[in-house]
Amino acid sequence: MTHIFFFTENDRSSVYGRGTYLKQMITCLQDVKNISLHIVEFFTQESEFQITKEENFSVYSFPAQNNSSFLLFKYYHNCWYILKSYMEIEENDKIIFHLNFLKEYELVKYMKEDFPSCKVIFTLHYQHWASLLNGDLSLYKKILKKQEEKPDDKFEEVYSNYLAEKRVFDGVDHIICLSEFTAELLKNSYHIPQNKIVIIHNGLEHNFPNISREEKEKTRKKLWIEKKEKIILFVGRLDATKGINLLIQAFEKVLQTDPDCRLVIIGDGDFPACFQKTKTCWSKITFTGRLKKEELYEFYQIADVAALPSVHEQCSYVAIEMMGFGLPIVSSPGYGLLEMIQSYENAKIVSIKRDDGEEYLSLEELSRNLIDSISVTNRKGQIPDRYQLKNIQKIYFSL
């Protein structure tokens, strides 16, 4: 028997990428023979520790406590002490502990002490330097080599986070990278041995229903979208690193060429910052907040073009969905995104410009590509094999 303990936490990312990742991993692993799957949740909203038995897996929920770094090690120590008491492990069983957050590294020493033959895996979902530096890889490498001429507090934070990441990478048995870019970065800048790094792209089941023209018109009518309006779709957190502010500026330029356009923004986050950017085109932008999957898929089905202006991504589930629905995509060349869609037939990549040492996405090119992509009629959904769910299981059990 192989016991897999998948660790997660109740934070903002649990309703976005990491939350989807957990669901997909459960889908992949729960029905495999001789697998005992366990989900361990930290910082939950329950008042006390509880165990929930699902059909094919168990969930161990640990309530939130003081989350200060000073007390964090005590929290994880206590959680581990409780969790260990419920583990039913036979002598020849295999154990995989799968971590998803850097701070969960506090658990590794207990895992190795109590189960010396266990395997500890860490999935790298996010890197803080990319947000702090807007994805500027050349600047990041200078900071790591201490070659930046004018260091400040932000640079110190970047370097400190690098050391924290490297400690985790050195201490676990395998690091799952979601993109080729990240795998190369770990090998060259973190000096992680190649045999510790494995690339397992995010995957989704190929379930993206196309609808007829009549059904699209019916859906648009239900959503009070005029027949002549062209829909530009953004899906994701309302965050500067997602490029949402630049997209709104580009949309203003789109309206100057084609006023029969509407920007639909699906997701939650920093609404006030977005509202400040929309003053000249309020009536042409729709904010939906987060939507259920069925509601989101309706917008995918009726949209004319999708925008992915993020400065960085690891492996975007949104990009996979957009490709699955066959949408024309206008994307930044941010790492992760570029390797995902550069071979996608209906993609346009916006170039990066540099000014006074700063890199930024070309506003003019973003707006022009959105306009050009609106008229694309080829809507054949095609997801590359590496982003389909069936590949995850095969690679996972080769570790």
φ, ψ of residue 9 in degrees (nearest 5) = -140, 155
What confidence tier does 210 reach under pLDDT thresholds 50, 70, 90?
confident
pLDDT for 204 equals: 86
SS3 call for 228? coil
Give percent above pLDDT 70 in the chain.
92
- Flag the least confident range among 205-209, 304-308, 330-334: 205-209
Q: What was the pLDDT predicted at 399?
A: 73
Lay out the sheet containing 119-124: strands in order across: 50-53, 57-63, 35-44, 2-9, 94-99, 119-124, 174-177, 197-199
User: pTM for the full model?
Assistant: 0.90
C-alpha distances in angstroms, 33 versus 3, 37, 58?
11, 11, 16
Which pLDDT belongs to residue 392? Answer: 76
| CB contact at 8 A, 319 and 178 | no
Q: Is the pLDDT of residue 359 over 80?
A: no
Q: How many CA atoms lie within 13 A of 340 on its CB side?
A: 32
Angstrom distance (rounded) from CA 9 to CA 64: 10
Q: Please state, in angstroms and rounded to a whole number, the distance separating the CA atoms of residues 179 and 199.
A: 6
pLDDT over 90 at 214, yes or no: yes
Q: Which helix (H) or strand (E) holds 44?
A: strand 35-44
> For residue 282, is pLDDT > 60?
yes
State yes or no: pLDDT of 13 exceeds 60: no
Q: What is the pLDDT of residue 335?
A: 86
99 — pLDDT class (breaks 50, 70, 90): very high
Find out whether 251 and 305 touch, Cβ atoms under 8 Å: no
* pLDDT given at position 273: 84
Looking at residue 122, its pLDDT comes to 97
